[in-house]
Amino acid sequence: MCGIVGYIGFRDAYPILINGLKRLEYRGYDSAGVALISDNDEHLNIYKEKGKVAVLENSLADKDLSGTIGMAHTRWATHGEPSSINAHPHLSQSGRLAIVHNGIIENYASLKKYLAGKGFTFKSCTDTEVLVQLIEYMQQTYNLCVAQATRYALRKVVGAYAIVVMDKEHPDELVAARKSSPLVVGIGEDNKEFLIASDALPIAGYTHNMVYLNDEEVVLLRRNQPMSVKNLKNEDVNIDVKQVDIDIDKLEKGGYDHYMLKEIFEQPKAISDCMRGRLLQKKHQIVLSAINLHREQLINAKRFIIIACGTSWHAGLIGKQYIENYCDVPVAVEYASEFRYRNPVIMPDDVVIAISQSGETADTLAAFQLAKAHHALCFGIVNAVGSSVARESDTGIYTHVGPEIGVASTKAFTGQVMVLALFSLALAKAKGTIGQKDYEEIIDELSIIPEKIKVVLQQNDRIKEIAKTYTYARNFLYMGRGYNYPVAMEGALKLKEISYIHAEGYPAAEMKHGPIALVDAEMPVVFVATHHQLYTKIISNIEEVKARNGRVLAVVTQGDTSVRKLAEHIIEVPPTIAPLAPLLSVIPLQLLAYHVAVEKGLNVDQPRNLAKSVTVE
């Protein structure tokens, strides 16, 4: 939520900032702005526009944008509607300081009242403007440099922040700080330049040397000088430089109309990358260092608690079935946002698994930190390397599916399911709760899943045609059972978030306890009815919908004859074993949601009101 980029060095800052914002636009896109200190007259120039980064870029086409220091922001509104006034950067009262911010200052109202009593006035409705005024107040009252004034101000702040601050009196310095919202510093060769951003994507391409700031750290960046990091108590902090390699090509659309479509089509490769070096098919082995390193704790765990949000939570529901089936140990799957606030019982012999694509989801991170405080083993399943959840983990497994840019999560989901399958099988083997024959059968099947996904993707054109017949709908139901029940929920989430059609996913047997009342000739009902456990039962559920004139679209196993007779549309997936069905059956639902949204003329990659990385609670 909200993307930040900053630059200080020897190059023109503007192209770096605007291109960086484009890479971060998945985080928010209701307004954007940039601040530059001109090399010519040392004037601090601020430009802001409501709308996407492209609107800002177009509005600046004929401006003099010189300057080798600057910062930029793309916003996801929290306090105050999207508008150019509420857009960042915000200026302090005197116009000396400028700030960009990601997060929420929870005590902004009391701080604002205090500052108003000191004569400060406010132009915007944002909590961010309060913070920059507070920094200025500290600077003026105690005659401080901007880094120290920022530390003083942040000591008074309750909430989450990633900020960059510029002082026009010091065009050779950039100050930044974080708490609960991510911030990464990129270090150029010989400290000649520094980049700072909400994630590594805008920095990749300039340097591999990156420093992930920790909570309550304030960094001072100056050209040709080593960066310095202090905590809020003004103590020096050790700087841990990481080598981060990101394939820039993966950040482009690669010929696809949208990132989402590209990411759907990347799934065979992404899943192979996820298995690489871990699933040794010929030896029938799964090698996961995360398990080897914490073998005893994992084997002896009395319970697993999976915490996640959104799509990652759906993957967790599938993971629960894997771990319970193969490892014989109970699993609770919790919405992180509920778990963190309801005083949950967490035992030291619990293992808490956080699942997160971004690794920055505020609720997941807070729930994980709670688990850590209760001395549970904290196990992260994360896609974004070096992200906050990854760094909070005692151990874990990266999904390694590559950067996911589309707001609607697709390849991250299949990557998470794959990791959960590998994890549960490796643990079951270590515990002796799975037979060799079953173990080998699943390993063999896992190894050919990427080829089977390719077969599903070949039906893209047909799914596009089918999608056209459903764009009228205002509501959809999705039904599945067993391993396909979380898939039904995931299909519904995909549709609602990008097509704005209300959709609900249910376990099919629950239909008669309420949702069936909604079924009429207008109501599309998507059944995930592959040829597995409960297949005959789900056929009965389809009959019930048909009896009420509902429109049935079904995802079925190749060669299915029974559902074919009942459904208006069917989409076939290759046969596989029941536990792996989600890896195939979710693909047509991703494509269906995509094509419905495209048919409706909607912005698939940046749906309204959403952001890719939900760093506010």
- Whether a cis peptide bond, with omega within 30° of 0, leads into 89 is yes
Provide, rounded to whole angstroms, the least separation between the CB of residue 387 and ligand M6R: 9
Among 244, 309, 378, 425, binds ligand M6R (CB under 6 A): 309
Cβ-contact 583, 418 below 8 angstroms: yes
Question: Looking at beta carbons only, is 356 or 424 nearer to ligand M6R?
Answer: 356
Number of residues this chain uses to bind ligand M6R (CB under 6 A): 15
Identify the helix (H) or strand (E) that includes residue 314.
helix 310-327
Cβ-contact 466, 592 below 8 angstroms: yes
Give the per-residue contact string, 409-428, with ligand M6R (x = CB under 6 A; - = no): x-------------------
Stretch that binds ligand M6R, among 186-194, 234-242, 246-254, 406-414 (CB under 6 A): 406-414
The active-site residue, picked from 2, 309, 327, 378, is 2
Among 174, 407, 526, 591, binds ligand M6R (CB under 6 A): 407
Measured distance CA(171)–CA(175) in Å, rounded: 11
Question: Looking at beta carbons only, is 1 or 446 nearer to ligand M6R?
Answer: 1
Among 187, 408, 552, 591, binds ligand M6R (CB under 6 A): 408
At residue 338, what is the residue type?
A: E
Residue 118 DSSP label: T
Q: Scan residues 596-615 and list those touching ligand M6R (CB under 6 A).
A: 614
Among 150, 361, 585, 590, binds ligand M6R (CB under 6 A): 361
Provide, rounded to whole angstroms, the least separation between the CB of residue 389 and ligand M6R: 8
Specify whether 378 is catalytic: no
Residue nearest to ligand M6R (CB): 310
Q: Which residue pairs, CB below 8 angstroms and at least 24 apart, start in 155-158?
A: 155/232, 156/107, 156/111, 157/105, 157/107, 157/111, 157/131, 158/105, 158/106, 158/107
Which two structure tokens, joined as six digits, stand for 519?
Answer: 């079924």
The active-site residue, picked from 112, 179, 452, 612, is 612
What's the gap between Cα 258 and its chain centre? 17
Cβ-contact 511, 541 below 8 angstroms: yes
C-alpha distances in Å from residue 271, one per residue of 326, 385, 463, 578, 592? 21, 17, 22, 18, 21
How large is the angle between the packed helices 310-327 and 411-431, nearest 10 degrees? 20
Provide, rounded to whole angstroms, the least separation between the CB of residue 37 and ligand M6R: 34
Give the per-residue contact string, 495-534, with ligand M6R (x = CB under 6 A; - = no): --x-------------------------------------
Among 311, 395, 414, 585, binds ligand M6R (CB under 6 A): 311
HEC string of 128-176?
HHHHHHHHHHHHHHHCCCHHHHHHHHHHCCCEEEEEEEEECCCCCEEEE
Q: Does 396 bind ligand M6R (CB under 6 A)?
A: no
Question: Looking at beta carbons only, is 165 or 389 nearer to ligand M6R?
Answer: 389
Among 92, 124, 180, 357, binds ligand M6R (CB under 6 A): 357
Which two structure tokens, joined as six digits, stand for 514?
Answer: 């309420």
Q: Does 356 bind ligand M6R (CB under 6 A)?
A: yes
| Binding footprint of ligand M6R on the chain (CB under 6 A) | 309-312, 356-358, 361, 364, 407-409, 493, 497, 614
Which residues are the active-site residues? 2, 612
